[in-house]
Chains A and B, each alone.
Chain A
Amino acid sequence: MTITLFLEQILNGLQFGVMLFLMASGLTLVFGVMGLINLAHGSLFMVGAFAAATISAWTGSFILALAAALAAAAIAGVFMEILVIRRLYGRDHLDQVLATFALILIFSEGTRWIFGSFPLYLDTPQWLSEPVSLPGGILYPSYRLAIIIIGLVIAAGLFVFISRTRLGIRIRAGENDREMIAALGVDISRLYTFVFALGAGLAGLAGALIGAIQSVQVGMGEPVLILAFVVIVIGGIGSIKGALIGSILVGLTDTLGRFLLPIAFGSFMESSSATLIGSAISSMAIYLLMAVILLVRPQGLFGSAS
């Protein structure tokens, strides 16, 4: 194992983490501010990817495709909030899980109905298709580097938005005491719709960014959703900082686990069983990480103890 390979794997872990952050930030805001468990967040990821694939096929422009993904998912989010989610704030979590699970099925079958069961084509733009040389002799796909940069810029933007702007202050206030902020004259239901649309738009953007290097197909959001839940539990529910740190921890653990565990097992056992056992354990690694963190800090890394 060379140092170059190790550094490249760190970058891969970071890229995976940043992608998870785009999903997890919306999820943690919605959960933190509104106390709502939204299983259909993965469907918004899928909506973004399908919108991007459609617009990219029409116009050939990747930037327009990303904008379309953001807009389509945010609009879908607004409709989802107004038609369904709004009725669930007062209910308990089980009702929310049931209703949003139903939304997953509706979105999946609706997408299948419109686009069919075969995966759609969405590729990275020409100007990001070549690998770039980084210091240290690392050859890294420029598209993945772009994902890292976009993700970190969005993280910084969200952080400033939540901590420095008036709207951000209202969101944090709503998280702490929703009756009080309503009594102070803030239109809480518009605030909720806005937060929901923001989270949805970020999920849609993540779907489009990831769809271009993976596959755009029905059901693509659910595996990511599970990881996003792991992230917000690790990071502490409602905390944007926690979502960022949690995402990067999960991304690095998963990537380095997949890479290092088979090698580690190979040092003391026969190689083909080492790869089998190593890969089996590496697929559990992030859940082990979650279990350990919950043992030490049940409220998550940056969660407030309730």
Chain B
Amino acid sequence: MKLKTLAIAAALSVSTAITAYAEPLKVGMITTLSGGGAGLGIDVRDGFMLAIKNSGNSDVEVVIEDDQRKPDIAVQLADKMIQSEKVDILTGIIWSNLAIAVVPSATAQGKFYLSPNAGPSLLAGKACHQNYFNVAWQNDNLPEAAGQYANDTGFRNSFLLAPNYPAGKDMITGYKRFYKGDVNNEIYTKLGQKDYAAEIAQIRASGADSVFFFLPGGMGIGFMKQYAASGVDIPLLGPAFSFDQGILQAVGAAAMGVKNTSQWNKDIDNAANKKFVEAFQSEYDRLPSLYASQGYDTANLILSAMGKASVKDADAFRAALKEADFDSVRGSFSFASNNHPVQDIYVREVVKEGDVFTNKLVAKSMTGHSNAYTGDCSM
């Protein structure tokens, strides 16, 4: 595994808006670039680097490393980045179990950590920290919106399915927090499991009127294809993670029409989003996913804070981050008291545009939604 150092050169000389504190800043990105979860990490990285490139800011240096989705490797990389690379900000982790392993020690050493994806309840509540900012969502958020949507649709008897790891439990908790009907059954599967024949058989026999599931990445591909082939026709719903742009093409027609909840979609109507979707497509020749949008927002948040304060002045920089003074591609965005997003959450539907499977917005599920853990956090 080679250390990839990417020094970002400003190709174009743009305006001097960011010269007020032209203090160089070093970002360490630890993300998943190999193995089954690589698509997610690559999207976060590409979204992040696109924002840096478009800003033309040459004072940001980004060091990128692959955690292989293994907590022990993520911890080693974080130590290396803090001690020998001397980074100012860490970011990039996709998986909640890795975030829980890395974030507390990084923030305790005075570094900033900006999460572009994972938002475990532990780090939003009891273990919150003033230097930890989540730019994506608290894990419970998207399933909370799914629970709300289930009520609105009239589902009264849901079957729940998620992998057995921190985010899986958060997702189920989030759904149940807003969903008012009965829980038919609640199943936790092994993380990384690909075959769901046993679970689908139970769904078939359950008599439920809806299935809420959270199976990110390759797990979701397997589940949806097998579900479609099983002939079970109970409606599916879930957070966006099984419906992102990276995996929809591999699922194919099996995902058509499924409702999922997300804080972002490519058709959210604002100038920043339009620019992001176009720039991402022309740079990487594919449609962006929600992970890419989160990486993009994370980089723009850092750039906005850099324009206001030097990262060496931790208090000022922290205050600048907290202002969230950047044009988020998802529209309105601010931080709650525990540094997690307050944002709108939408319901999307999987559709086919030409030859490409993608999502379109169908409704707004929640407006200005925060998270349930602000009270547990001492900030």
Contact = CB atoms under 8 A, between A and B. Distances in A.
Interface of A: 1-2, 4-5, 8-9, 12-13, 15-16, 108-109, 112, 117-121, 123-124, 129-131, 139, 141, 143-144, 210, 212-220, 223, 255, 258-259, 262, 271-272, 275-276, 279-280, 283
Contacts of A275: 186-188
Given A12-B197, A12-B198, A118-B246, A214 B231 contact: no
A213 B198 contact: no
Contacts of B34: 108-109, 112, 117, 218-219
B231 A279 contact: no
Interface in B175-212: 186-190, 192, 194-195, 197-199, 201-202, 204-205
B221 A5 contact: no
Contacts of A280: 164
A16 B38 CA distance: 26
A16 B197 contact: yes
B195 A214 contact: yes
Given A141-B197, A144-B229, 5 more contacts: A15-B197, A118-B246, A210-B194, A259-B201, A279-B188
A283 B252 contact: no
B42 A117 contact: yes
A215 B197 contact: no
A290 to B, nearest CB: 17
B331 interface: no
Contacts of A258: 189, 198-199
5 contacts: A5-B204, A8-B205, A9-B201, A117-B39, A119-B218
B205 to A, nearest CB: 4
Pick from A129, A217, A223, A275 the residue with the most CB of B within 10 Å.
A217
A141 B226 contact: yes
B114 to A, nearest CB: 23
B225 interface: yes
Contact of A12 (B201, B228, B231, B253): B201
Contact of B36 (A16, A129, A139, A219): A219
B226 to A, nearest CB: 5
Contacts of B251: 121
B169 to A, nearest CB: 8
Contacts of A139: 204, 230-231
B222 A213 contact: yes
B250 interface: yes
A212 B251 CA distance: 10
Contact of A4 (B42, B187, B188, B205): B205
B229 A279 contact: no
B189 to A, nearest CB: 7
B188 A123 contact: no
A5 B164 contact: no
Interface in B216-235: 218, 221-222, 225-226, 228-231
A215 B205 contact: no
A215 B218 contact: yes
Contact of B229 (A13, A109, A141, A216): A141
Interface in B239-284: 246-247, 249-254
B102 interface: no
Contacts of B42: 117-118
Nearest to B220: A215
Contacts of B164: 276, 279-280, 283
A213 B201 contact: no
A245 B204 CA distance: 29
A118 B164 CA distance: 24
Contact of A214 (B35, B39, B221): B221
Contact of B201 (A5, A217, A271, A276): A5
A121 B250 contact: yes
B186 A214 contact: no
A285 to B, nearest CB: 11
Given A16-B195, A141-B229, A121 B252 contact: yes
Contact of A216 (B38, B188, B250): B250
Given A5-B202, A279-B189, A121 B197 contact: no
Contacts of A210: 194
Contact of B190 (A112, A255, A283): A283
B33 interface: yes
A139 B187 CA distance: 22
A116 to B, nearest CB: 9
A280 B191 CA distance: 11
B202 A223 contact: no
Interface in B340-360: none
A74 to B, nearest CB: 24
Pick from A120, A130, A223 the residue with the most CB of B within 10 Å.
A223
Nearest to B164: A279
Given A213-B226, A215-B222, A119 B39 contact: yes
A136 to B, nearest CB: 13
A212 to B, nearest CB: 8
Nearest to A271: B186
A28 to B, nearest CB: 22
A108 B1 CA distance: 13
A275 B195 CA distance: 18
Contacts of B186: 271-272, 275
Contacts of A214: 194-195, 218, 221-222, 225-226
A255 B198 contact: yes
B369 to A, nearest CB: 25
Given A5-B202, A117-B42, A141-B230, A262 B247 contact: no
Contacts of A276: 164, 188
Interface string B149-193: 000000000000000100000000000000000000011111010
Given A121-B250, A279-B189, A9 B222 contact: no
Given A121-B252, A124-B229, A141-B231, A218 B197 contact: no
A9 to B, nearest CB: 6
Nearest to B197: A12
Nearest to B225: A213
B67 to A, nearest CB: 14
A218 B201 contact: no
A112 B66 CA distance: 14
